[in-house]
Structure 1
Amino acid sequence: MIAELDRSVMLEPRALRDQSIPKELLEYANECHLYLIGHRPMTVVDPNSLSVDDNLMTARFISYEQSEDAIVECTWTQPGISGAVRVESDWPHNVLRIMDASDSQIARGNASFFLAYAMASAESDVQRLPVDAQFLDLMVDYIGKAYGTEGNRGAIARLQSHSTLQRILSELPRDMESWIILLNSDSQTLFTSIVPSGQKGDSADQEDDLHLQRALAGPLEEEMIVDFLEGCLIKYFQPPYNVQLKKTFPQASAKPLAELYTRDLNAVGFELDTRHLSVRLRSATVASSFAHNAMYSLHSPTDRKNMFDFVDDIEVLRARRR
């Protein structure tokens, strides 16, 4: 089974403290039960470079990434603004504010947030990826989940009193900034290949039929999907602040995964694409990319030799879906 992480929201930790998340975004984010915490070099702007003409903004961005050429000047169309507005930034110039003619704030965000908008409109990856590498790529620090009784606890509620998040923020160097990506899966796909292990009507054939019935016994509960996705993501990225699941996932004795083994599934996996967030993810063991995927077998190779088997190559699975 592959679960697509097709619901995602990116927030700065400040938004959790001052409750500045827009209502429509909050409703969407509250349905997310997984979260990823990461960091990247702080981005600042040259305040003398700031200008806005209707909805066309210009700024020179400077990254704290240790490189002499980590400077880029961009002009881009900023959604949600028009008319007589101005843009300003106070020391240390890592936050931009857009003010209207009456000095009311109509938009606020980290400098890297505005740079991400600019890069999203780049004509090609050749143009944007060098900038992403210096400014926007996110190093994954921690992956967690939040799932309360009847699924009524989302990631935002969990993060508002999260000791690991507070630890990450307290240990983060001053020239870095932290970001949170909320995740959830709204679609899952079960792939099968059938290799009969017996003759029609004999005991092996009957066991094959039972096996198939168990595997196709309806959709998995949302909590089970959240559980295995958390394990997959931790196993894949190997985040430094995670302790559990990095080496042990998947494990037949783990209670949260019991239904997967009851269904006699062979493997679980994930697909994650963050291009719409304008951020590539990376870790100490995973190279920067917008797209990440992996599959993990629930059984040792010697345990699985019957008719209902999952294909291990995720590229083959993706080709079948087209």
Structure 2
Amino acid sequence: MCDWAGILAPAQLGSVSNEPDVPACNIYLIGRRPRITVDPRTWKCDAESLEVSLTADLGAGESNTVHLRGVNPFGQPLRLVAKAPFTVMELHNEDGDLVSGAPTAMWFAKYLQSVMGSRRMDATAVDEALFDLDVVYVGQSQDAGGAIRSRLQNHGTLQKIMADTNQNAPHLDVWVVLMQFETLNKMAIFGPWTGSQGDKKSLEHAAAVHSAELDPSVITALSEAALILYFQPEFNDKFKDHFPEPLHKTYREVYDLDMNSVGIEFETLATIGIRLKSRVVEPVFIHTGLFALHDQAARRRFFDLDGWTSVADATYLKRGPSSNIPD
């Protein structure tokens, strides 16, 4: 379960690396989405409401422009200040003081999060596709300071993705999502089949799993592998079709406990305020995935009773291996 998440542009990594409000996040996603610009000429704002036009660059000369109207959460007239290429904006009050400012896409995603809340889960007039982030890489850092302090500022894959974007998709912007996975929930399902070990051994095994306290490094590693299996990111090579081998020292404890599956669950509506997607995941706010740690054809465990198909890995099996994903 994800305990915290935040989003930032690569240019912000240095400035927020020592912010006390940003926890140590050992999981990160790198994503891309169309560059969003604001048109200052369309800005209207009084104490009650605001309106403005936003444009998403779709590439090849195509674009999507929407006109946004909504309440003014600041309760005072504001002036929008933005310079070309209009991807960063500031709001100033009548005295010229800075009231708010951020990259354009981030500011409006947070604005919608603030004024609409859970209503964004329903069909609305807002074009959520403007803000959808396409996950292209999942990574981890085992350092105590988290990914932002020890890894991302000089990250080779991030630089590679940015270079690839500049060359092949210059209409896209790269974003980094920081995530903290610390909460581990365990679930056991008991049925009529107790395996070849008998009732006593089965109950002892269940008790051992329930009482086990996994090291944070193991939770981080499992989270990374599960997220890679779930999103099938374009720039990840490992774990796309299977969990790490049991001999890998980081995962040895999990295999020794004979856990059946690993699942992930997180939502992005209340955290980063945008939907995530990938080549195999539709854009949604709520993400769940369950993945088997073992070869289901070679063993019969909790979920595979009397010939039923295991529910573990249901999402992955429906998609097929990454080799079947079209380019």
TM range, smaller chain: 0.7 to 0.9
Distance 1:203 1:298 in 2: 20
Report if aligned partners of 2:80, 2:91 keep a CA contact under 8 Å in 1: yes
Whichever residue aligns with residue 257 of structure 1, its letter is Y
Query: Which residue of 2 is the match for residue 156 of structure 1?
Result: 148
1:224-239 aligned within 5 A? 224-239=218-233
Determine helix, strand or coil for the equivalent of 2:137.
strand
SS in 1 for 2:28: strand
User: 1:184 aligned to 2:192?
Assistant: no
Q: Does 1:61 align with 2:58?
A: no
1:30-109 matches, cutoff 5 A: 30-54=23-47, 56-65=49-58, 70-77=64-71, 79=73, 81=74, 83=76, 85-101=78-94, 103-109=96-102
Describe the superposition over 1:105-146 as per-residue Cα deviations: whole angstroms up to 9, x where unpaired. 3422122123213433345532156x112x111111111111
Distance in 2 (alpha carbons) for counterparts of 1:47 and 1:39: 24
Q: 1:265 to 1:171 in 2, by over 3 A?
A: same
Which of 198, 208, 214 is equivalent to 1:204? 198
Q: The residue matched to 1:227 in structure 2 has which SS?
A: helix
2:10 aligns with 13
* Matched residue, 1:171: 164
The equivalent of 2:260 in structure 1 is 266
Aligned mates of 1:314, 1:190 — CA distance in 2:
17
Q: 1:252 to 1:33 in 2, by over 3 A?
A: same
Unpaired runs of 5+ residues, structure 2, are 315-327
Q: Is the 8 A contact 2:45 2:72 kept in 1?
A: no
Distance 1:31 1:99 in 2: 32
**Which secondary structure does the structure 1 equivalent of 2:246 belong to?**
coil
Counterpart of 1:144 in structure 2: which amino acid? G
CA 1:7–1:196: 2 relative to 1, 3 Å: same
| CA distance in structure 1 between the aligned counterparts of 2:26 and 2:48, rounded to whole angstroms | 35
Q: 2: distance between equivalents of 1:228 and 1:263? A: 14
Distance (Å, rounded) in 1 between the aligned partners of 2:303 and 2:36: 51
Hey, what does 1:138 align to over in structure 2?
133
| 1:127 match: secondary structure | coil
Residue identity (%): 26
Describe the superposition over 1:186-220 as per-residue Cα deviations: whole angstroms up to 9, x where unpaired: 42221112246669xx9633322332232123322
Tell me, what secondary structure is at the counterpart of 2:238?
Answer: coil
Q: TM-score, normalised by structure 1?
A: 0.82
Q: Deviations over 1:34-54 (max 9, x none)?
A: 001101001111221123324
Is residue 278 from structure 1 mapped to residue 261 from structure 2 by the alignment?
no
Return the alpha-carbon distance in structure 2 between the equivalents of residues 198 and 115 of structure 1. Answer: 54
Distance in 1, Cα, partners of 2:184 & 2:255: 17
For normalisation by structure 2, the TM-score amounts to 0.81
Per-residue CA shift, 1:254-288, capped at 9, x if unaligned?
22111111111111110121112221111112111
Residue 115 of structure 1 pairs with residue 83 of structure 2: no
Please list every run of 5 or more consecutive structure 1 residues that lacks an aligned counterpart in the other structure: 316-322
Aligned position for 1:320: none
Q: 1:82 to 1:267 in 2, by over 3 A?
A: same
Contact 2:47-2:72 at 8 Å conserved across structures: no
Residues 55 and 249 of structure 1: is their aligned pair in 2 closer, same or farther, counting only changes over 3 Å? farther
